[in-house]
Amino acid sequence: MKVVIATSNQGKLKEFETLLAPLNWQFYSLQDLGINSPIEDGATFYENALIKAKHAATISGYPAIADDSGLCVDFLNGEPGIKSARYAGENSSDAENNIKLLESLENETQRNAAFVACLVFFDPNSNESPLSAEGRLEGEIARDSKGEDGFGYDPIFYISEESKTLAELGKDYKNKNSHRAKATKILLNKLLKEK
């Protein structure tokens, strides 16, 4: 089956291809199909994931899987949250977002945070309700950036049980333990039941 992964982020696309391999589906990104990203104006991760999945599925005619995810920092009342990708401003880089977050917590000792991912599977050819799943990865914000194997906030997201940042732990660890991996496992089980 052909399925759209509703992202232009190549890091996310590769992660999904690995995590969803048991489905033996053929995955396409938005770029592969020439689809622009929709405006994400939802108030929650679920709403934004649903907007993206419906948009990709409606335009392509194929089922779509979309995620919306972000970093929620307790001290910042859940920010950057749904604005994680543009925390330092529209079109900001990962490095700029990381710098802004580190500056926001510069003198703060309470650095608890969680990565949250919400996934939605939407089939435009079905009357079924969209399937969804949520995953979380608890950690804290490090005082500085460490590690090269990751993207986004991975270099400053510290896993205390491992005494390393997510970027230091690498793809194998992330593919098994990340917020997106946890949500994908839940969604994968739902999809395998439907198959």
**What does the alpha-carbon distance between residue 119 and residue 104 come to, in Å, rounded to a whole number?**
28
Distances (CA, A) of 11 to 24, 54, 71, 104, 174: 20, 21, 16, 26, 12
Assess whether 68 carries a catalytic annotation: yes
Reported for 162-170, long-range contacts at CB under 8 A and 24+ positions apart, including other chains, are 166/137, 166/139
Which amino acid appears at position 31 of this protein?
A: Q
**Candidates 41, 67, 68, 144; catalytic one:** 68
Alpha helices in 20-86 (DSSP H): 45-60
Query: What 3-state DSSP class applies to 25?
Result: coil
Catalytic positions are 68
